[in-house]
Amino acid sequence: MPYAKIDDSLSLYYHIKGKGLPIVFIHPFVMGHNVFMHQEALSSRYRTIFFDLAGHGRSSRGNKPVSIAGLAADLKKMLDELGIEKVVLCGYSYGGLVAQEFALKYPERSEALILSGGFSKIDTIIPKIIIKLVQLMVKFGQVPLAASWQAKFHKCGLQDEKKIFELAQRSDAERSYEYIKSGLQYDSSSELHKLDMPILLIYGSLAKPMHRYRIPFQKKAPQTQVVYIKNGTHQLPPRSYQEFNAIIDTFLRALNDHQKKDAGLG
């Protein structure tokens, strides 16, 4: 299995498929890279990069506490080791916080930012309650219960549920708790104006508590595009993957066309 050594105590598992524009997918807490299993279909056109965050999936836990900033720094080190200079960042839910932090800290390494169910800070009641429930589960060592819960919410079919649970149950309780805690404290709202790369926000039409989170992006980063998937829930990558993949492909094709025109190749 391929691993990128981040430091003496931390190695990140990664999986790369395809060629072309690199896209790195960043998962939420108490999950692994395979929540994006259906995005491997994009490897026919792009270089898809999947990995497990510290303390999740097949990656080691490391000896340092997890934070959103630290996870973004880990990602940079992994890309450095892989020799990948610039990527499209695709973060799902909490993974979107890591994607934002990376884009803010390393804009020269960020081709574009795609957030599925994205937010700059979490401050609505229903999402917060769900997040804190999982936080309580891992705090009291109930990682298998949290993993089962995540797998059920994210399944498209029974096989998906089994695969997602397999990696989710490997999550380290302490690192998961730290990831959740750091995300609850995270707020990039005052820095969104610094994001000058193309931004795409994707929401499920049924995930109405999340829709308001588009507003700060649209106000402070006017290049932001927002797309809603009809009858989609918050769990778009696994449960609405055909529409989700098509939206990403359309966005990235337009990005490629724009870059070619800028280079005088169009």
Mean pLDDT in residue range 41-60: 98
Start-to-end Cα distance in the chain: 40
In this prediction, residue 155 has a pLDDT band, given cuts at 50, 70 and 90, of confident
Better pLDDT: 257 or 114: 114
Given a contact cutoff of 8 angstroms between Cβ atoms, the answer to whether 25 and 149 are in contact is no
Tell me the CATH number at 134: 3.40.50.1820
Domain that holds residue 25: 3-262
pLDDT of residue 264: 65
Q: How far apart are CA 108 and CA 120, in angstroms?
A: 20
In this prediction, residue 261 has a pLDDT band, given cuts at 50, 70 and 90, of low
pLDDT of residue 143: 98
Nearest-5° angle of CA 220, CA 187, CA 209?
80
Neighbours of 261 (CB within 10 A): 10
Classified as helix, coil or strand, 71 is helix
In this prediction, residue 115 has a pLDDT band, given cuts at 50, 70 and 90, of very high
In this prediction, residue 40 has a pLDDT band, given cuts at 50, 70 and 90, of very high
pLDDT of residue 157: 83
pLDDT of residue 263: 61
CA distances (Å), 99 to each of 114, 171, 206, in order? 8, 20, 24
Question: Is 197's pLDDT higher than 70?
Answer: yes
Counted domains in the chain: 1
